[in-house]
Structure 1
Amino acid sequence: MSSLDRFQLFSFSGKMKILHLSWVAFFITFFVWFNHAPLLMAIAESLEISAAEIKTLLIINVALTIPARIVVGMLTDRYGPRLVYAYLLVFCSLPCFLFAIADNFMQAAIARFLIGFIGAGFVIGIRLISEWFPYNELGTAEGIYGGWGNFGSAAAAFTLPTLALLLGGDDGWRYAVGLTGVFSLGFGIIFYRQVTDTPKGSTYFKPKHLGSIEVTSKGDLFLLMLMKVPLYAALALLVWKLSPEAAKILSVELSICLYVGLVILCFLDCRKAWKVNKTIFSQPISPLHQYKFKQVAILNILYFATFGSELAVISMLPLFFAETFQLSPVIAGMLASAYAFMNLMSRPGGGWLSDRFGRKPVLLMLTAGLVVGYFLMAMVNSHWPLWLAVVAAMTCSFFVQSGEGAVFAVVPLIKRRLTGQIAGMTGAYGNIGAVTYLTVLSFVDYATFFMVISGTALVGFIILLWMDEPTGQITEIHEDGSVEFINVA
């Protein structure tokens, strides 16, 4: 094996160059996506917005990400990750600039809604890295991409308040937010010039249709339609959060219109899936080219429990520590940040374990750890030593983020030409999980909240027993009709 073929983490050539450019691109998407979070107090004071409107900005920030991940996954499979990632970074700098110059709540809300599209960047790199790394390194590479890139949100929390102070007075937050847009714009151009979709001589396989995931059996088509319903249910939940029954931002009439619109969109989406796949009823797919959509459905549920719980817990953990142990907001925030810091090693670790010891066994082990970890978090109370509570949170974080790495160690091994779409759906389920868990938290206490997550992880563990370990090869067809076999184990 030549030096160019080996996995050399600190190399910047060949496949390692692609890995480093990819995680930096993902890092910037999260840096931009959460550029408002550490500056909320300054933003609220500058724009004279209420506490309810601040909460609305937080909801709006994630609203577009769920459908965006589906759309971006389709575009990635069709047009290639180089083009789609570059365009995403460039175009999402524009709402970033709009947010920086907003003069009132409505302008800020529109800009934050559009910025949510950048949260879909994650799925692009999943497809890109799967083109460059062999199956026995894929989990490690995807884990590094996800773990190091995901740290962009924590980097924003640490750096942007300081930048705002350095850059100037009452408008410091505007300059800090605008600077993140400059980073996004600049790196989009760099990415376009430095990246190729595949190694030289390799084929980039594209789906036959744009608009819905292709499936290869009748049962899988109905399962695909079933898995679409939670996507629209989560969006309906977001509408409810903005409706007169909750945040009182939307009017009754507009809320009803949005509910009806989501029902219509769900119907049209399922209809599109039928049109793309209806030929399987008259022309069955050769077993050689079939894949099992149940693999995708299982990974969706696992990512719901892993990444969904991570997003939810990161949002509430500082308040949990502050209220449980009577800590100042600053100390509570510092302790809670340990949960996010685990991403740097845990997610790559989950991918590495999958490469070495098998995808399904590692997922089973990590999901079991998730069940126990959140059960322990539900037991934490003011009688616990503070250090032990922090250790429990970090241990739980290890299983959560390692589980995320293990999930995306499997995603690229299902069907190469559909990797973007599969990653998009699985990634969207992570956001659905976050919306669901945070909604649960609004009705229950912290202990019940953690028990609910533990319970859904247990459901994921049981369902995981039906997942098939990737074995042998998957097949793709060249334009000339010849077949290529791609090793997955």
Structure 2
Amino acid sequence: MNILSKKATSINLLDFKSRPMRAFHLSWLAFFLCFFGWFGIAPLMAVVREELALTKSQVGNIIIASVAITVIARLFIGWLVDRIGPRITYTYLLILGAIPVMLIGLSNSYESFLIFRLAIGAIGASFVVTQYHTSVMFAPNVVGTANATSAGWGNLGGGVTQMVMPLFFAMFVSIGFIETAAWRYAMVIPGVLMVLCGIAYYKWTTDFPEGNKADLDAKSLKSKQKKNGSGAFKEALKDRRVWALFLVYGACFGVELTINNIAAIYYHDYFKLDLKTAGLIAGLFGLMNIFARSLGGLFGDKAGIKWGLKGRVGLLGGLLLLEGIALVLFSQMAFLPLAIATMILFSLFVQMSEGATYSVVPFINKKAIGTISGIVGAGGNVGAVMAGFLFKMESFSYPEALAILGIAVAVTSTTTLLIRFSAEDEKIAKVELEASLEEKKAGLQLQPEYIEK
């Protein structure tokens, strides 16, 4: 049986029995809950800011802390998932990551809150596991769509939390808790959900369509691991395409993280909205993940089918340029309805750019998917950290910072010109693509042994 026949060649959302689709559903759900816990405190920052008497600079430091540790975490998780597989990696990340989410309520000062916010940021590495798991479960004709959809639905947690956490907060206030206690108890909810998901991930997923790492042919697996372990990380570090994608992802996912952190407080301060209304509007940005990131991956796959790997890269560059232009427009809007409309347009291009990025990543080096996913994913957080310093500066208002950020994104789109593939790479990708399309046409998506009874 060739390798492609072990991967899903289509996405059947109602399939909960096959290993690829079970991994798909649990990976996006796990990422959703991690994102929910990661940014659960963001829509409540107006309350926290008042209680702890935080300055703008301190709020900026907290924003930076929430994404800074994720840079290191994503690099480590990318290395780890190549070695122990996504199942065990995600299980530990979910359960251990839930601890600081639930315990942030113990904060009683700027310093302690900053430390907990830093620790929570580690769960942002969940993205790497999600992208790895779908990359090894789906064939080339749909891998971009699978990666984009699982990540997009996971990112949706960033939008849902903007809407839901103020409601959890209001619920605790309505049953008698004071505001300074309500936000603390509200943060326990996402933590508990993460623990439950970690248990489910361990029980109901496998590392690959064939099974778990520990159960596969030891000889071939050890040979593969040895090769990956000895040279994959160094090889990835030397590849300029990896670093170009690192910058690209910083300009799209880094921007999304930044908006998730500042959107609610931006609408609260600049449009004089109450906490609940500001959170609902800010949540619209993240809700675009329902379909926008999937579109980026889908169009990436379509471009790959028609124009090859260079088509995937060309699409990515165009989307990133449009993102930068839309962000500059959003920064200039002082009329609330227009601000909301341009934010939604901007969000569309942000998330399509993210999806298009990870329709390219699986083709850079198939022997180091986890490592490269980790490096590129870390780029998103580096971008968010750099943007965080911009929003921290007292000399720039938030609208001015957004405009500068938009210009930076547009300029970064030119780095896609560095992402090139050799004629041999294009040939191999074409052969694999044609094989997966033929397999799909023949109805051989999944063999019986890859379906859990």
With the length of structure 2 as denominator, give the TM-score of the two structures.
Answer: 0.79
Deviations 1:81-118 (A, max 9, x none): 11111011111122233323445554444333222211
Please point out which of 206, 225, 231 is paired with 1:196.
206
Which secondary structure does the structure 1 equivalent of 2:233 belong to?
A: coil
Unaligned runs of 5+ in 2: 305-311, 435-453
Which of 60-69 and 404-413 deviates more?
Answer: 60-69
Alignment of 1:287-436 (within 5 A): 293-318=239-264, 331-358=277-304, 359-378=312-331, 380-382=332-334, 386-436=336-386
Q: 1:321 to 1:186 in 2, by over 3 A?
A: closer
Alignment of 1:219-258 (within 5 A): 224=238
Unaligned runs of 5+ in 1: 225-292, 475-484
Please point out which of 446, 449, 454 is paired with 2:406.
454
Whole-angstrom CA distance in 1 between matches of 2:47 and 2:404: 34
Q: CA deviation at 1:405?
A: 0.4
Q: Which amino acid aligns with 1:426?
A: V
Q: Which amino acid aligns with 2:183?
A: W
Alignment of 1:74-85 (within 5 A): 74-85=79-90
Please point out which of 146, 149, 158 is paired with 1:153.
158
Q: Is contact 2:32–2:157 with CA below 8 Å preserved after alignment? A: yes
Q: CA deviation at 1:326?
A: 6.0
Please point out which of 466, 472, 475 is paired with 2:418.
466
Please point out which of 207, 228, 233 is paired with 1:214.
233
Q: 1:315 to 1:211 in 2, by over 3 A?
A: farther
Q: 1:21 to 1:112 in 2, by over 3 A?
A: same
Whether 2:179 is the aligned partner of 1:180: answer no
Which of 207-216 and 90-99 deviates more?
Answer: 207-216
Whole-angstrom CA distance in 2 between matches of 1:122 and 1:433: 16
Which secondary structure does the structure 2 equivalent of 1:92 belong to?
A: helix
Q: Which amino acid aligns with 1:408?
A: Y
> Which protein, 1 or 2, shows the higher relative CO under an 8 Å CA cutoff with sep ≥ 6?
2
Please point out which of 7, 12, 17 is paired with 1:8.
12
Deviations 1:92-148 (A, max 9, x none): 122233323445554444333222211111101111111100011111111111111
Deviations 1:431-452 (A, max 9, x none): 1111212322424345543443
Q: Which amino acid aligns with 2:248?
A: L
Q: 1:396 to 1:61 in 2, by over 3 A?
A: closer
Q: CA deviation at 1:56?
A: 4.3
Q: Which amino acid aligns with 1:374?
A: L
Q: CA deviation at 1:368?
A: 2.9
Q: Is contact 2:166–2:275 with CA below 8 Å preserved after alignment? A: no
Whole-angstrom CA distance in 2 between matches of 1:42 and 1:13: 44
Aligned to 1:35: 40
Q: CA deviation at 1:156?
A: 2.2
Q: CA deviation at 1:411?
A: 1.0
Which secondary structure does the structure 2 equivalent of 1:200 belong to?
A: coil
Aligned to 1:247: none
Q: Is contact 2:35–2:158 with CA below 8 Å preserved after alignment? A: yes
Q: 1:488 to 1:76 in 2, by over 3 A?
A: farther
Whole-angstrom CA distance in 2 between matches of 1:21 and 1:301: 29
Q: Is contact 2:253–2:354 with CA below 8 Å preserved after alignment? A: yes
Aligned to 1:68: 73
Alignment of 1:32-181 (within 5 A): 32-43=37-48, 48=52, 50-51=54-55, 55-102=60-107, 104-167=109-172, 168=175, 169-170=177-178, 171-181=181-191
Whole-angstrom CA distance in 2 between matches of 1:463 and 1:307: 16
With the length of structure 1 as denominator, give the TM-score of the two structures.
Answer: 0.73
Q: Is contact 1:206–1:418 with CA below 8 Å preserved after alignment? A: no
Q: CA deviation at 1:332?
A: 4.6
Q: 1:6 to 1:434 in 2, by over 3 A?
A: closer
Whole-angstrom CA distance in 2 between matches of 1:175 and 1:448: 35
Which secondary structure does the structure 1 equivalent of 2:208 belong to?
A: coil
Which secondary structure does the structure 2 equivalent of 1:122 belong to?
A: helix
Whole-angstrom CA distance in 2 between matches of 1:165 and 1:433: 33
Q: 1:129 to 1:386 in 2, by over 3 A?
A: same
Deviations 1:41-91 (A, max 9, x none): 555666x55446555444332231111111111111111111111011111
Whole-angstrom CA distance in 1 between matches of 2:148 and 2:417: 23
Q: Which amino acid aligns with 1:372?
A: I
Q: Is contact 2:42–2:262 with CA below 8 Å preserved after alignment? A: no
Q: Which amino acid aligns with 1:127?
A: Y
Q: Is contact 1:371–1:454 with CA below 8 Å preserved after alignment? A: yes
Q: Which amino acid aligns with 1:66?
A: V
Q: 1:152 to 1:321 in 2, by over 3 A?
A: closer
Q: Which amino acid aligns with 2:233?
A: E
Q: 1:192 to 1:325 in 2, by over 3 A?
A: closer
Q: 1:207 to 1:400 in 2, by over 3 A?
A: farther
- Report how many aligned residue pairs link the two structures: 401
Q: 1:136 to 1:305 in 2, by over 3 A?
A: same
Deviations 1:327-367 (A, max 9, x none): 56654544343222212111011000001122123213212
Q: Is contact 2:156–2:287 with CA below 8 Å preserved after alignment? A: yes
